[in-house]
Chain A
Amino acid sequence: MTPTVELLRVRKSYGGFTAVDDLSFEIPPAHIFGLLGPNGAGKTSTIRMMIGIIAPDSGCVRIFGEPFRRRVLRRVGYLPEERGLYRRMTVGDNLIFLGRLAGLSVATSRERIGAWARRLEIADWIDRRVEELSKGMQQKIQFIAALLHDPGLIVMDEPFAGLDPVNTMQLKDVLVGLRTAGKSILFSTHRMDQVERLCDSICLIDRGKSVLQGSLSEIKAGNGRRFVQIDYEGDGGCLCGHPLIDSLNDYGNHAEIRLKPGADPQELLRTAAAGLRVIRFQVMDPSLEQIFIDRIAGTDD
């Protein structure tokens, strides 16, 4: 199946500063892809090259199997990091305007706006001016604007920024629904905890370079099941200096442990059971954040 997006050795620099350096990735259809990285890593530049706002210095961007052309944007929905709406116009007028620009008729725009507004529970706000809305509310409007023309690829720069947990859940549900409907979704974020349960695959970038990429499960497996949490009663001192433990955070009756590479958690459990009354023993997947921090720390050396 043709990937929806292919980036091939893309590079972009501004003056002397390299924002994106030799970056490649693919997004298959019906896939949620997370572009992760700290602030200033090159996420926004990457996204802008995907939607033709800026052109790469070298490398190639293919969308729906073709080299990028403006025409392809009819099938792309874009949500910028900041709210791109006319503040003094009503929500409805804003959306109709953007729908019309995307090639829809007024009637079709209205119909779709109504459907989305009901789904995202903002129908009462359609006739209000954008400036009267909260940031989270504006973000939802922006979200609808990106989806109005039913794009096959949806590109979102920090879609969850400024949203409360309820709205975040609502948008996550919508994204999952879109994936089920066969759409490809790329979003960027620097909040890695937000993507763990949502993304099929990710690309971690730092200072313009890809640090880590692949499907989420592969990445986690590849980084080993090295994290253990123990809830216990008794004297945790017996864990100190254990030959299997790389690092230990002991909170008195709760300990977070990172094992040395290749260590068997079962062996640790035996040691702990011998010395302590173990209430809970859990082998954890590493969090993305943990993996990322490890990787970045590694590249710093």
Chain B
Amino acid sequence: MTEFSIRKVWIIAKREYLERVRTHSFILSTFATPLLMASFLILPAMIGASTARGIVRDSERPARIVIACDNRALAELARGELIRQRGARYEPSVVSPASPAEHEQLDRRLDAGDIEGYVWLDGPALASRRVVFATARTGDFLLQRRLGDALSYAFAAQRMVKQGSSAGDVAATLQPVDLTAVRGGETFSVYNAVRGAAVVLILMFVMLFSLLSYGVMVMRSVMEEKSSRITEVLLCAASAQELMTGKILGTGSVGLTQIAIWLTMAAFGVSRSLYLRTAIEVLGVGPSLIVYFVIFYILGYLLYSAIFAGVGAIFNSIDEAQQWTFVVILPLIAASGMILPVATSSDSPLSVLVSLFPFCSPILMFERLAVHDPPLWQLALSLLLLVATIGVVMFISGRIYRTGILMYGKRPTIRELSRWLRHA
């Protein structure tokens, strides 16, 4: 059983590869997924860009905001600031004074949809600076932030005017700071950082789903060969080791092909779209990140496909394997739950720990690499642990596979499994 023929592994892998690449589902998922991703990434960006350039679309009416205020001067200052804000398209108006009758009137107009919201600035509100913004657009965080900024500006400007500053002084004093985040010579802006997170997020989900779907594909393929008894014919010509290796490599190459196609499409998109190019530059999704992505993808795939090959050999049908499949993918689910915590505090002990844990590290160490350079030793340790775990899992899975693919009918007990491990 010791002979191991690369030629046979190659023949097996090639068959596996060609059969999978030719399926409709492969072609569909390869070309539909980027469209979905694009709608995820590009559409909001396009909307954002058109807003920034001040392109008005008929379907999109500017938000009508009423500033109801006892102090007309203050209200006018806020209104002016709101109009001036970069990329904003609002139609603010002022009502003064803020009388109870006016309040009712504004509520009615809001209900009727005549206005998108109003700010209520009566005496107590002016004194405490606790301002209520009644609006139908509670989800428009940008509007709320800009309104808050405009009001703060108005309060400060009015005080300065009272103290005798000229209009020019006021403008110069209150000019907002333009903050730019920089990492390793690359520039980040707040807006782009959000979009950058989206790109990293997309990469991680691609990794997650790809690991999952190609792992399960290995499992199904093992089961199919087992239940159709093809395995018996194959075992006359090749060893179990060659079969499993060929299967894992062949299916994995399909996954890599898909990812290569996606990266090519993305590169093409980047070369054609100024927006994407800036986003990519701004994000720091450089070639090194792509290399990390591919490395962690390959290692993660080897780990999970080896487990799935073993699971496939144990069971006779997908139904039987269902609950165990869930156990296998549990670490991946946990990892997807850790994506946000790791993004916000990438160097916390928990983040470090989960990014070293081999069953999660393909996703989470990659994420840490993307959002923040982790210390080199952590990267090295994570890779080392991952490779070592792959070795152990391959060994165990190989033994289970070797015995399992010829066992039909009853599913084995844990005791039988451990016997397979020891004796095979």
A-side residues, CB < 8 A to B, are 48, 51-54, 70-71, 73, 76, 78, 80-89, 93, 97-98, 100-103, 142, 145
Residues from chain B with Cβ under 8 Å of A80 in the complex: 229, 232-233
B-side residues, CB < 8 A to A, are 1, 3, 8, 11-12, 15, 19, 228-239, 406
- What separation, in Å, do the CA atoms of A52 and B238 have in the docked complex? 11
The reply to whether B230 and A78 contact each other, CB–CB distance below 8 Å, is no
Among the listed B11, B230, B236, which residue makes an inter-chain contact with A51, where contact means beta carbons less than 8 Å apart? B236
- What separation, in Å, do the CA atoms of A251 and B12 have in the docked complex? 61
The reply to whether A70 and B239 contact each other, CB–CB distance below 8 Å, is yes
Residues from chain A with Cβ under 8 Å of B1 in the complex: 70
Residues from chain A with Cβ under 8 Å of B229 in the complex: 80-84
Nearest residue in B to A102 (C-beta to C-beta)?
A: B237
- What separation, in Å, do the CA atoms of A51 and B15 have in the docked complex? 24
Name A's interface SS.
loop
Residues from chain A with Cβ under 8 Å of B237 in the complex: 73, 98, 101-103
The reply to whether B228 and A97 contact each other, CB–CB distance below 8 Å, is no
Residues from chain B with Cβ under 8 Å of A84 in the complex: 228-234
Q: Given the known A-B contacts A70-B3, A88-B19, are A100 and B236 also in contact in the complex, defined by CB atoms under 8 Å?
A: no
- What separation, in Å, do the CA atoms of A54 and B232 have in the docked complex? 11
- What separation, in Å, do the CA atoms of A54 and B408 have in the docked complex? 13
Q: List 29 A-B contacts (CB under 8 A).
A: A48-B232, A51-B236, A53-B236, A54-B406, A70-B3, A70-B239, A71-B3, A73-B236, A73-B237, A80-B232, A80-B233, A81-B229, A84-B229, A84-B231, A84-B232, A84-B233, A84-B234, A85-B228, A86-B15, A86-B228, A87-B228, A88-B19, A89-B15, A89-B19, A97-B15, A98-B233, A101-B8, A101-B234, A103-B237
> Apart from A48-B232, A101-B12, what are 16 other A-B pairs with CB-CB below 8 Å?
A51-B236, A70-B3, A73-B236, A73-B237, A78-B232, A80-B233, A84-B229, A84-B232, A84-B233, A84-B234, A85-B228, A86-B19, A89-B19, A98-B237, A101-B11, A103-B237
Residues from chain A with Cβ under 8 Å of B15 in the complex: 86, 89, 93, 97
The reply to whether A100 and B11 contact each other, CB–CB distance below 8 Å, is yes
Nearest residue in A to B227 (C-beta to C-beta)?
A: A82
Nearest residue in B to A101 (C-beta to C-beta)?
A: B237
Residues from chain A with Cβ under 8 Å of B239 in the complex: 70
The reply to whether A97 and B406 contact each other, CB–CB distance below 8 Å, is no
